[in-house]
A and B are shown apart, each in its own frame.
Chain A
Amino acid sequence: MKCVSIKNLSYAYIKDRPVIKDLSLDINKGEYVSLVGHNGCGKSTLAKLLVGLLIPSEGTIEICDLELNNKNLNEIRKKVAIVFQNPDNQFIGATVEDDIAFSLENMCVPREKMLSLVPEYAKKVGMEQFLTKEPGYLSGGQKQRVAIADALIRNPEILILDEATSMLDPAGKQDILNLVKKMRVENPNLTIISITHDINEAYDSDRIILMHEGVNVLSCTPSELFEKTGIISKYNLDLPFIIELKTKIKELGIDVKDSDSYEEIGEKLCKLK
């Protein structure tokens, strides 16, 4: 079932210099899609268009069979949640609990319901001990977890992660990625659109969409993409660590399959004489 359907979308910040050119794209319900591409290729602009922060110059966006326009905007914002890049600039409440409650307040949820929902979702992201803490006492990863809690509490159909891990330290990053994995298990109907520079992160997704200068060049599964060495060198992509590892091992004349996991490779290496 289609969840997001983009048809002939164009957008230009400055006239005649479009950032997104005639882009068409479908995303299915429950899919985990990674958008990759270099700076300025229009990934973040696409994310802003999807939540209705920008109005398309041309083309249409349909989210859950609703066309994105001024009339449906409030309806659509209830279905789409976004987590931005900078943890500080999306922390609106004074404390963790206020921030998690912010979207509920906007949706006019009664106070009694908020009092039970806020701790529940704080627990989901592992922030239950920090409810009364102010953002100054939190690390970047913790702030992003709060942002995710706020996104999830609205029970969205689509979650957009707009480089949500790019300003975090490795530990915070791993934290968020584990959280995303946990979310997919708990709620298989949630569509996740992850915009990322980290090719290892994209490797975990169902589908990778490669964007270049406002057009989607390619849309395929991660393993398919990394077989196409021509495309990888043309768009200057990095290889995920596991693929690089396998190529290096193959060069040594050891037999590893493309489908092998780290454990299987480890076993094969241990069996060597």
Chain B
Amino acid sequence: MNNLTFGRFSPYNTFIHKLDPRNKIFLMIVLFVCVFLKVTVWSSILIMSGVLFLFLISVMLLSKVSLLSLLKSLGAMWILFLFLLVIYMFVPNPAYDKTHVAFTINNYPVYYDAFIQWGYIVIRLVMMLMVTMILTSTTKPMDLTYGLEWYLTPLKIVKFPAHIVAMTLSIALRFIPTLIDETNRIIKAQSSRGVDFNHGGIFKRFRAIFALIIPLFVSAITRSEELSDAMEARGYDPYAKRSRYRKLTFHLCDLVALLTILLVFGAILTLVIYNNHFVTVDIIYWISGVKPII
């Protein structure tokens, strides 16, 4: 239970940490768009991915996110990557370059293009992971909630209870560590009563999990009852007007970050629009050494 390292907040005080969470959420979305903008010419793809990758690596270094934890979480994703590879190999896209066959399995052709497209999607997923990691490890979960609430506020016009959603989210976040402690305690308690969580087949382990889940649920419900009593006794009324202790402010550093990322976005957008005007490089020719038949 202690290996939930991915994207956990690391309490440094860097430039990125100081940014306004609202700004960070917006910039994350812009970067997602950057990562998933589609260009078709290989030279453009290489330039774009290269620029973005270097940019994200430098942001990661700047915000002191450890590259090791990125590699660890990539290690956890290898099944996804393998699964994607199988899909790309055996379900050829009609747009594949069918002239270069890497090898055949029982007369079923596997194209070079499958690997290249796979590589392209993997690098994009990795970049997406990097963006998310930068966001979550430089922003306190609670600040993220405040940022999210700010974005949801306009929905109040259609009677969407943004502040209630934000309160629910922040309480859920507040109780994650408490419930993890509780889980560990129940695991120990049930193990001492002879429940085996680590051995046996899937079915046996699944049954053992029930011995964990049920007490955990019961305790969570008791907790929530006590919590709601405490909140009510302290005068919380979800529909009443409340003042705010936390205030989000947009600083100069936010402007700098915003402009930098918009610059990157602009560059990539230019690349997408003038997609075909760059020199085209036949990447498959590089890899396979087989000249394309024109």
Contact = CB atoms under 8 A, between A and B. Distances in A.
A111 B243 contact: yes
A92 B174 contact: yes
Interface string A37-49: 0000000000010
Contact of A92 (B177, B231, B247): B231
A89 B237 contact: no
A101 interface: yes
B124 interface: no
A51 B234 CA distance: 9
A53 B229 contact: yes
Interface in B240-255: 240-247
Interface string B134-148: 000000111000000
B171 A92 contact: yes
Interface string B198-239: 000000000000000000000000010011011111111100
- Residue from B177, B231, B234, B242 whose CB has the most chain A CB atoms within 10 Å: B234
Query: Mostly helix, strand, loop or mixed at chain B's interface?
Result: helix
Contacts, number: 88
Given A82-B233, A102-B234, A103-B234, A108 B242 contact: yes
A247 to B, nearest CB: 39
A200 interface: no
B104 interface: no
Interface residues of B, number: 29
A93 B146 CA distance: 13
Contacts of A136: 177-178
Interface in A69-109: 74, 77-78, 80-82, 84, 86, 88-95, 97-98, 101-109
B226 A110 contact: no
Interface in A35-68: 48, 51, 53
A142 to B, nearest CB: 15
A74 B235 contact: yes
A111 B242 contact: no
B170 interface: yes
Given A82-B233, A106-B237, A97 B245 contact: yes
Nearest to B230: A90
Interface of A: 48, 51, 53, 74, 77-78, 80-82, 84, 86, 88-95, 97-98, 101-111, 114, 118, 134-136, 150, 154
The 4 closest A-B pairs by CB, nearest first: A90-B230, A101-B245, A94-B142, A89-B226
25 contacts: A48-B229, A53-B229, A53-B233, A78-B235, A81-B233, A82-B233, A86-B223, A88-B223, A89-B223, A89-B230, A92-B231, A95-B142, A98-B142, A98-B245, A103-B234, A106-B235, A106-B240, A108-B241, A108-B243, A111-B245, A118-B245, A135-B177, A135-B178, A136-B178, A154-B234
